[in-house]
Amino acid sequence: MSEKMKVAVMEDVRKMAVWEMDVPEVGPGMVLAKIYRCNICTTDWQTWAGLRASQGRKFPWAPGHEMSGEIVAVGEGVRQDLKPGMRVGFGSQGSRGCGQCIFCRKGHPSRCINKPKELERSGVTGSFGMAQYFLVEATRVYRLADDLPFEQGGYLEPVATVVHGMKRLRVQPGDDVVVIGAGNLGLVNAQVARVYGGRVMVSEISDERCGIAKSLGFEVVNPATEDLKKRVLDFTGGKGADAVILAVGSTKANQQALEILAPMARVLLFAAGYPAPELPIDPNTVHYREWEFIGTFSADPADFEVAAKLLSERQVRVEKMISYTVPIDDVQRAFELAATPGNYRVSLSMWDQ
Ligand SMILES: [Zn+2]
Ligand SMILES: [Zn+2]
């Protein structure tokens, strides 16, 4: 009889459960990892809350892509530097490609046009990160520092998506960058923009979140109580922001971004909003002021490599962004907490009770 493991499964909207499944066997080119923590992503709890019905997700679904753990077995033909006992994080399913299409050949498998299908096990599809063991292609395994706590290792995928966006935004030394929103990904964006050489100001309406942004060393503005435009002009010597990162998906945030742009500024639309927010913009202004609007989504393997370093070297710090740790047996409560406004990540613990 094969060994069993716990897997968190979304059976329906607002209904998480723990299922028992066989621990997968490691085959050629594959790695089996023991998972210690999996953080609940915004996309996970929004699907649970029924906010993403337009995406057509079918249940039962096994969520979870922000996990980290330790290698327990490697299959034949796996590269030599991956060894049992090593602490690792994982590239998302979305970072896999066919290797053949034009986007894969250009180094962007996240844009593959022959996307491999989602995993399926025991009649359940999903990414299967909220489980005690995880079987994965060795090409999706990234080494993390031995002393990086597992719940912080769970930030590998979000940090990789931020690195991907930062490359698209082309932040350089000397750029004045304003990040709108100090949620999880706002604070990660602010830190990665700083690594890329930006002078960063964070705009956030919650005093508590302003405090966390300050403690990470950022200039902070609260547009609910201060004049955003004036503060940005003061910060940037009167010219406005060279780059704005929209880390919240809201019409209000979009409007704020348009008020603080320097000539030739670039705007990164990092976050989606449900329902879709508006971007009320006059094309003539875009023309005369030479603005750029840039979308970003997902991450490629090269972005995961950078993200693994930034986390391992603590150039990006995420310890203040874990609001709760909850055992997998209480996964329903964990999703309720994740969906509660004001909370940062909720981390599922796979083994301790
Ligand atoms: Zn995520
Ligand atoms: Zn492809």
pLDDT tens series, the chain, 353 aa: 589 999 999 999 999 999 999 999 999 999 999 999 999 999 999 999 998 877 778 899 999 999 999 999 999 999 999 999 999 999 998 888 999 999 999 999 999 999 888 889 989 999 999 999 999 999 999 999 999 999 999 999 999 999 999 999 999 999 999 999 999 999 999 999 999 999 999 999 999 999 999 999 999 999 999 999 999 999 999 999 999 999 999 999 999 999 999 999 999 999 998 889 999 999 999 999 999 999 999 999 999 999 999 999 999 999 999 999 999 999 999 999 999 999 999 999 999 86
Q: Residue 302 class from Cβ within 10 Å (0-12 exposed, 13-18 middle, 19+ buried)?
A: middle
| Within a domain: 137 | yes
Exposure letters 32-65 (e unless 16+ CB within 10 A, then b): bbbbbbbbbbbbbbbbbbebbeeeebeebbbbbb
181 and 287 together in one domain: yes
Task: Tell whether 308 is covered by a domain.
Answer: no
* Domain co-membership, 13 together with 145: yes
Domain of 128: which CATH number?
3.90.180.10
Ligand 2 centre to CA of 50 (Å) is: 31
219 and 177 in a single domain? The answer is: yes
Nearest to 10 by CA among 55, 62, 49, 45: 62
Q: Is residue 310 part of a domain?
A: no
The number of the ligand nearest the C-alpha atom of 108 reads 2
All residues with CB under 5 Å from ion ligand 2: 97-98, 101, 104, 112
Residue 302 lies in a domain: no
User: Is the domain of 63 the same as that of 191?
Assistant: no
What is the CATH number for 245? 3.40.50.720
Ion ligand 1 residue ranges (Cβ < 5 Å): 41
What are the phi and psi torsion angles at 327 (to 5°)?
A: -65, 150
The type of residue at 222 is N
Q: Is residue 309 part of a domain?
A: no
What's the 237 CA to ligand 1 centre distance in angstroms?
A: 36
The total number of structural domains that make up the chain: 2
| 251 is a domain residue | yes
Same domain, 267 and 201: yes
Residues 259 and 195 in one domain: yes
d(CA 58, CA 12): 8
- Measured in Å, residue 193 CA sits from the centre of ligand 2 at 29
**Together in a domain, 329 and 270:** no
* 227, 105: one domain: no
Which CA distances in Å does 274 have to 50, 52, 259?
11, 7, 23
Q: Which ligand is nearest to the CA of 42?
A: 1
Domain assignment of residue 289, given as a range: 165-295
User: Is the Cα torsion angle 248, 93, 88, 312 positive or negative in sign?
Assistant: negative
Are 279 and 246 in a shared domain?
Answer: yes
Residues 15, 53, single domain; the answer is yes
**Does residue 78 form part of some domain?**
yes
111 CA distance to ligand 2 centroid (A)? 7
Query: Measured in angstroms, how far is the CA atom of residue 96 from the centroid of ligand 1?
Result: 15
Element (H, E) at 17: strand 15-22
The answer as to whether 72 is a domain residue is yes
Please name the residue that has the structure tokens 């991450």: 299
> Are 25 and 124 within one domain?
yes
Instruction: For residues 193 and 264, state if they share a domain.
Output: yes
Ligand with an atom nearest the CA of residue 93? 1
